[in-house]
Amino acid sequence: MVDVGSNAPDFHLKDQEGNTRSLSEFKGRWVVLYFYPKDNTPGCTKEACDFTALKPDFTRLDAIVIGVSPDKVESHQKFVERHDLDLILLSDPDKDVLRAYGAWGEKKNYGRVYEGVIRSTFIIGPDQKVRAVWRNVKVRQKRRGEEVRHADLVKKRLEELKSE
């Protein structure tokens, strides 16, 4: 299981443009790597839009945001175009990277048990070590009566890590 302090597993996956991308190409930068179930679903769309809205902040923090799902490259292309997303989205149809990060596994919904994407986010340091982990992510949650976006929590944690 990938956890804080462990080396982040490298990968070689195609992005929404069909280019092969790897984690190692971002060595020396911070990486926010998030795993999500499916393009164009309500929660996944909110999450991608939230990360896109915060892209200037992540850029200022020298971080790149990368989303991974089992969807095909063509689905990612349509998702990016439809919602004007400004992220790298990677296609993992074989679920190898999802499994390597512990983001694929047993889920339960309304009493039904099945395998699927476990919404997860990792902050990876410039040294390619995992610095923060969120599992079973809620894209938006209520805290003290206010809605809090997961992307804001990730940004805040990255700011803390950079100031350590």
Residue with tokens 């179930």: 37
Q: Is 49 annotated in the active site?
A: no
Which of 1, 106, 18, 48 has its CA nearest to residue 9?
A: 1
Residue 56 structure tokens: 């200037």
Give 1-6's long-range contacts (Cβ < 8 A, gap of 24+). Answer: 1/102, 2/100, 2/101, 2/102, 2/122, 2/130, 2/133, 3/130, 3/133, 4/130, 4/131, 4/132, 4/133, 5/129, 5/130, 6/129, 6/130
How are strands ordered across the β-sheet holding 130-135? 20-22, 12-15, 88-91, 63-69, 30-35, 120-124, 130-135
| Amino acid identity at 87 | L
Which of 23, 44, 80, 103 is catalytic? The answer is 44
| Amino acid identity at 76 | H
Residues designated as active site:
44
